[in-house]
Amino acid sequence: ILGIRTNARLFFTYGTDGKLWLNVENTIAAQQPSLPYGSNATAPINGGWPAYCYDSSSIVRQSNGASSLKVTYRSITDTPNRLAFEFQDAFNGYQQDSFAIDDVQDQDLVGQEVTQTLIVDGIPTYDQAERIAAFALNKSIDGNQFVSFLTTVKALGQQVGQIIAITYAKEGWVNKLFRILKLSPQQNYRLVQVTAQAHDDNWYSDTNGQFAPPYGVPGQPGSVSRSPFPLVGTSPRADGDFDWN
C-alpha cells in the first residue's frame, strides 16, 4: 500500500496495446470514467463504467444446471479487525512513531481481537495514517466477500484490478460492484474463471478514517481543536481561582 494522497493502491497490467500500464485502484468514477474496452454497460454506476455487467446470461452454468458462481469469505483469523504499523512523523522531525486502529464492532461480533501489522511505506503524517489504515481495515472486514465464476469470451479485454458489476438474484445483487483479482482463461479462451472481491467507493474517500473528537482513533487525539478538559470541576472561586481538591 502506498501512502499517496488518496486512499488508493497502484497495480500493473498490460493494456490492449501490449504495453505495461500503471493503474490506480480507486473509486469506479476515478478509475473507469469512460466505457472500458469490451464492456456491455449501458449506463454508468456511481459516476463510472464497469468493465462488464454480469448476470445469469453471462455466467456459465455447470453440467447439473447450477450456476458456477460461488461466494466465499475469509476465515476470522484471516480477517484482521485491528491494524498497527510504524511510520516516520514529518511533524516531529521524522521520528519513528506508531499507529493502531480497531474495528470494535467486529471485535464484539467475532469475540476476539485479530491483529495484523500493516506493511506500508511513505506515510508522513497521522492524517494519512488514519486514512490508509481505515481503508485497509474497511477492505479487510467489509470487503470480506469474494466471488468466483466461469464465463466465456465475454471476459476478453478485462484486466486484473478493473471493477465489474454482478446481478445475481440468489444473493439479491443488482449491479453489485466487485474488483477483479484473478483471470484464469482455459484453452482457446473458451472459458474464463473470474475471481473478484467486493468493492465500495466509500473506502477511497479522503474523509475515510477521519474521526470526530474527543474519541478518534484509539490512542490518538481527535483532529479538531477544542478547549482543554478541566482537571477538577468547572466552577471558579470568588477570587477567580479554582478549587483543585
**Does 213 score more than 70 pLDDT?**
no
Rounded-to-integer distance, Cα 201 and Cα 203, Å: 5
**Of 22-26, 201-205, 236-240, the least confident:** 236-240
Report the pLDDT value the prediction gives residue 235, as an integer from 0 to 100.
Answer: 54
Which of 32 and 236 is assigned the larger pLDDT? 32
Which of 41 and 10 is assigned the larger pLDDT? 41
**Does 183 score more than 70 pLDDT?**
yes
Report the pLDDT value the prediction gives residue 234, as an integer from 0 to 100.
Answer: 47
Assign residue 137 a region (left: φ > 0; alpha: ψ between -120 and 50; beta: otherwise): alpha
**Does 114 score more than 50 pLDDT?**
yes
Report the pLDDT value the prediction gives residue 222, as an integer from 0 to 100.
Answer: 43
Report the pLDDT value the prediction gives residue 216, as an integer from 0 to 100.
Answer: 40
Report the pLDDT value the prediction gives residue 84, as an integer from 0 to 100.
Answer: 94
Rounded-to-integer distance, Cα 137 and Cα 84, Å: 10
DSSP 102-117: E-HHHHHHHTS--EEE
Rounded-to-integer distance, Cα 195 and Cα 154, Å: 15
**Does 211 score more than 90 pLDDT?**
no
Determine contact, residues 34/50, Cβ cutoff 8 Å: no
Report the pLDDT value the prediction gives residue 245, as an integer from 0 to 100.
Answer: 47
Tell me the one-letter amino acid at 154.
K
How large is the greatest C-alpha to C-alpha distance in the chain, in angstroms?
Answer: 90
What residues have CB less than 8 Å from 204, skipping those under 6 apart? 6, 7, 8, 25, 26, 27, 30, 135
Determine contact, residues 11/23, Cβ cutoff 8 Å: yes
Report the pLDDT value the prediction gives residue 237, as an integer from 0 to 100.
Answer: 62
Report the pLDDT value the prediction gives residue 227, as an integer from 0 to 100.
Answer: 52
Rounded-to-integer distance, Cα 119 and Cα 92, Å: 21
Percent of residues, the chain, with pLDDT higher than 90: 60
Return contacts of 84-87, CB within 8 angstroms, 24+ apart. 84/115, 84/116, 84/117, 84/118, 85/117, 85/118, 85/119, 85/120, 85/123, 85/129, 85/133, 87/3, 87/120, 87/123, 87/124, 87/129
